[in-house]
A and B are shown apart, each in its own frame.
Chain A
Amino acid sequence: MNLKKLMLAAAIAGSMSAGSVMADEDTIKVGVLHSLSGTMAISETTLKDTMLMLIDEQNKKGGLLGKKLEAVVVDPASNWPLFAEKARELIEKKDVDAVFGCWTSVSRKSVLPVFEELDSLLFYPVQYEGEESSKNVFYTGAAPNQQAIPAVDYLMDQGVKRWVLAGTDYVYPRTTNKILEAYLKDKGVPASDIMINYTPFGHSDWQSIVSDIKKFGSKGKKTAVVSTINGDANVPFYKELGNQGISADEIPVVAFSVGEEELSGIDTKPLVGHLAAWNYFMSVESDVNEEFIEAWHAFIKDEDRVTNDPMEAHYIGFNMWVEAVKKAGTTDPSVVGDALIGVAVPNLTGGYSAMMPNHHITKPVLIGEIQDDGQFETVWKTSGLVAGDAWSDFLPGSKDLISDWRAPLSCGNYNVKTSKCSGQNY
């Protein structure tokens, strides 16, 4: 089993680096903080492999600043407090110069104080709810304005009048839905045409909710579901949609957490036409994407493995870090952190992504329809790049906040009305 070998290799690599305290002066260490066991292993293991591949490729190109890169892999085991401990271990004991990791927002919130205290760099590759900008974190995934808002715009353009906002009951769906609700009302959608529904983690009995959605959608106005349902709960949800005969041309579902990898565990024939909004699809036609897919298949030794959006985010984040280190001529995190702003590297959709002063990046937004082979077909794309917005313009509390980590402002939540930086670190 490839995976087994890999894990073994990773474990050996980990124990070796732990064992050799002499700290090889000739390598630059890069931390990889992704769960390899526990509930989140399903999503995060792939990102660990992606990082190993990227580091491997960089070494083949001759490393960085004349030194080889070395991956230090730790396993926070889907345990949020353990994330903080492992982050501390990576920075203090293993002496890494940058960390790539985390998936859930709660794991990011858990490691944030550690990164700020020890002044190291974290690259966070997953779409999230926004409302945060830390000096030490670089958000390479999508902010709500790079995923949720364009998706709603697209559906409005397709004639959708009634909206179901369905999500798992935790911070990302709650915040995203709050933003979306405000946005929809802003666009003149009456409250009676918005239905909001939350379900527990891992919810598996969707019968009555799908039946409610069906009833909500049979009132003669075109209806769509905006889904922030997380992780495993999606499969039974989609299965139930198929069972109750809801097809995508009657009530389309647009999802923000369903990518190629999640679909590889489902029979997608009943789902054809349902939508997802991402900044990258495996099916995107560009030379750099084809190279990436080929490299991935060669590295993982499995032609059937898919690529997805968070992988692209790591690809962009890692290349940005490499460019910034080259620019700064050192791996010192505080210098590299400043050098990162303004760095632009190719993304996999055939354009360039740049790091903004608010530590978010510019990306195109793509809307794709699920196909029967488990891939997405892009049906819509923003004409240009969208810059990630740390603080939503549609929430009363954060409307007036901006984030700019360049001197002299150097503030993650500067209030333009009161001209004050709240001083809160994140």
Chain B
Amino acid sequence: MCTPGLMAPRGAILFPFSGSGGLQMLLRVLWVSLLLGFGLATSIARADSFEQGLEQLKSKDFSHIEQGIAAIASSGNANTELVLNLLLNGELYRLKKTDELVVVQGKQDKKLIIVNLFDDSGASAQTVSKRKIKKVRINNNIRASLKAALASLKLSAAEPEQRRQAVNQLIGKLTPELYQTLSQRLDVESDSSVQELIAVALAVTDLNSADSDSAVQQTAVATLSDSLQPAARNALAQFVETTDNAILKSQASKGLRSIDEKRKWAGHAETLFFGLSLGSVLVLAAIGLAITFGVMGVINMAHGELIMLGAYTTYVVQLLMPDNIALSILVSIPAAFLVSAFVGILIERGVIRFLYGRPLETLLATFGISLILQQAVRSIFSPLNRSVATPEFMSGVIEINPVLSLTLNRLYIIAFCLIVFALLFMLLRYTRLGIEVRAVAQNRAMARAMGVRSEWVDAMTFGLGSGIAGVAGVALSQLTNVGPNLGQAYIIDSFMVVVFGGVGNLWGTLVAGLSLGVANKIMEPWAGAVLAKILVLVFIILFIQKRPRGLFPQKGRSAEG
């Protein structure tokens, strides 16, 4: 950390800690940053502040721990970053007996191997039971000041992402020293997004500073008006409220309007994305049903439970290969397909085939099966939800701009949905099984006369629909609970999508699912989640009154049956 050794009055470090609230937090952060600002210059004078700080971490009182962290952050010791990171990650422990600071190195049987802090050689290693050590406690406010302290250390980190986060932490909290550091940093910064952030951070300070002249403030307003950072908008909004300068005020409100305009568009794009991703989940859940209900005409109330089985398969596969989460998800897809398809074929051969042509009995029987499957899962896996880990590559966001970011897991699920749809579509269109399925669906007697084994086709079709439900379960395990009730949540929605899209039409299911998702998300902000759902249902009821065969009705003779 290279700061010009601007000596601040000694009194500054005696900043009081009493009181509470946001202001205090701000001051605390300021205080930490201030100390960091001239940490180097005074490090010799307070070489022992590092040791004292470590001592204070052993306290049970949060305010002491906080003071300890401030002392460590200001000490300029080479281990500062290490200690602060350990604290932030909750990896620093206190050995209850000797009151020494330790870190956990590994596990042996049920005991933990610990070594003293800063002991790289491992000479102090010992095994203790979990109860013998106690984590050095931090709370959210301490976490925030830790992040701020680490941010100032990371301003010149090699990774642009780290620098970006560091600057982000510091916006609105700049001390004169940090201001200097940042302006120097701006000249050497190569990454454009970090550059923009630094400019915003500096402009926010310029705008709010009492001794900035109006020319400086004018540039600051211009910089902030171009930025979509939330901090920039807040600073402008605050400035408009407080400033007396009429020209600047009108410029700032003009800037605010242009920001709001851009934000509005970002908001629309976000809603569309949310809608598509909800829609793709609906399509995934419904597309298996589009085959069993749409093509075969079987009302399968156990469809949701086949989805649930797929999700549980993901869980089991993950248990079998705990070290490779990403691969386990890929393995789960065929595994879930096979498990659900197998159960589906069992249901078809065991129950449904005796009930063809009797929809009411089919409905009741499959409802019974759904209850049996639920309780079976409760008995085997316990009624508690199971935790399915999300692989690394699926977590996080793609940031398009500061007000619009797309979550990666949703993007993957949209893509996954489209792939499943395309595969299924091609299967029905171009393979022998597909032709036979369509033939049996259109005219069973004729197909049999042509030598199609209709019973076998029935079983395969039902297995295919069920297998797809299992695949949907893999996707849902990444979004929601894996528990016995998983299926119930999706069965109504699935039927809704299939009926709305038009029975027996895959395209209808796709269009219906996506448009219902988008409609739901457009209505949610102003109607609330509860009312939005009701409105969508009412709309579908009205729509079905008008067009009983859905969006894409089947045409021709087969449709009469």
Residues in chain A within 8 A of chain B (CB atoms) = 1, 3-4, 7, 37, 39, 41-42, 45, 157-159, 161, 169, 197-200, 202-205, 207-209, 211-212, 218-222, 232, 235-236, 239-240, 242-245, 248-249, 252, 261-262, 264-267, 270, 272-273, 275, 369, 371-372, 377, 379
Most buried by A among B24, B25, B274, B384: B384
User: How many residues of B sit at the interface, in one of the four size bands?
Assistant: 35 or more
Q: Decide if B489 touches A204 in the complex (CB within 8 Å).
A: yes
* Shortest distance from the beta carbon of A184 to any chain B beta carbon, whole Å: 15
Q: Decide if B230 touches A265 in the complex (CB within 8 Å).
A: no
Listed by A's residue number, 6 A-B pairs whose Cβ atoms lie within 8 Å are A42-B485, A158-B141, A202-B488, A211-B274, A235-B480, A252-B140
Q: Decide if A198 touches B489 in the complex (CB within 8 Å).
A: no
- CB closest residue in chain A, given B145: A249
Choice from B231, B385, B389, B528 contacting A232 with Cβ under 8 Å: B385
Bound-state CA distance A4–B382 (Å) is 9
Interface string of B227-238 (1 = CB under 8 A from A): 000110010001
* Shortest distance from the beta carbon of A260 to any chain B beta carbon, whole Å: 11
Most buried by B among A161, A207, A265, A377: A207
Bound-state CA distance A262–B387 (Å) is 10
- CB closest residue in chain B, given A37: B375
Interface flag for B277 (CB, 8 Å): yes
* Shortest distance from the beta carbon of A32 to any chain B beta carbon, whole Å: 16
- CB closest residue in chain B, given A198: B530
Given contacts A209-B529, A232-B481, contact A41 B140 (CB under 8 A): no
Q: Decide if A218 touches B529 in the complex (CB within 8 Å).
A: no
Bound-state CA distance A264–B388 (Å) is 11
- CB closest residue in chain A, given B371: A37
Choice from B383, B386, B389, B410 contacting A45 with Cβ under 8 Å: B383
Q: Decide if A41 touches B528 in the complex (CB within 8 Å).
A: no
Given contacts A1-B380, A159-B24, contact A235 B147 (CB under 8 A): no
Choice from A169, A207, A221, A372 contacting B530 with Cβ under 8 Å: A169
Kindly list the 4 A-B residue pairs having the minimum CB-CB distance in the complex, ordered from nearest.
Answer: A265-B385, A218-B230, A159-B22, A220-B234
Q: Decide if A232 touches B485 in the complex (CB within 8 Å).
A: yes
Q: Decide if A203 touches B529 in the complex (CB within 8 Å).
A: yes
Contacts A42-B384, A205-B281, A261-B384 known; list 14 others, CB within 8 Å: A39-B488, A41-B383, A159-B141, A197-B528, A212-B525, A220-B172, A235-B385, A244-B407, A245-B397, A248-B140, A248-B143, A249-B144, A371-B90, A379-B137
- CB closest residue in chain B, given A367: B139
Residues on A with beta carbons closer than 8 Å to the beta carbon of B481: 204, 232, 235-236, 265
Q: Decide if B375 touches A157 in the complex (CB within 8 Å).
A: no
* Shortest distance from the beta carbon of B516 to any chain A beta carbon, whole Å: 12
Q: Decide if B407 touches A243 in the complex (CB within 8 Å).
A: yes
Bound-state CA distance A236–B311 (Å) is 14
* Shortest distance from the beta carbon of B525 to any chain A beta carbon, whole Å: 6
Q: Decide if A41 touches B405 in the complex (CB within 8 Å).
A: no
Given contacts A202-B485, A202-B489, A245-B397, contact A207 B141 (CB under 8 A): no
Bound-state CA distance A266–B62 (Å) is 28
Residues on A with beta carbons closer than 8 Å to the beta carbon of B20: 157-159
Q: Decide if A243 touches B395 in the complex (CB within 8 Å).
A: yes
* Shortest distance from the beta carbon of B369 to any chain A beta carbon, whole Å: 15
Q: Decide if A3 touches B379 in the complex (CB within 8 Å).
A: yes
Residues on A with beta carbons closer than 8 Å to the beta carbon of B383: 41-42, 45
Choice from A204, A205, A379 contacting B62 with Cβ under 8 Å: A379
- CB closest residue in chain A, given B234: A220
* Shortest distance from the beta carbon of B296 to any chain A beta carbon, whole Å: 28
Q: Decide if A205 touches B143 in the complex (CB within 8 Å).
A: no
* Shortest distance from the beta carbon of B323 to any chain A beta carbon, whole Å: 15
Bound-state CA distance A393–B383 (Å) is 38
Given contacts A218-B230, A249-B147, A265-B384, contact A208 B274 (CB under 8 A): yes
* Shortest distance from the beta carbon of A265 to any chain B beta carbon, whole Å: 3
Interface flag for B479 (CB, 8 Å): yes
Bound-state CA distance A245–B281 (Å) is 22
- CB closest residue in chain B, given A161: B22
Q: Decide if A249 touches B143 in the complex (CB within 8 Å).
A: yes
Bound-state CA distance A139–B399 (Å) is 49
* Shortest distance from the beta carbon of B66 to any chain A beta carbon, whole Å: 13
Bound-state CA distance A185–B278 (Å) is 36
Most buried by B among A212, A222, A261, A372: A222
- CB closest residue in chain B, given A154: B139
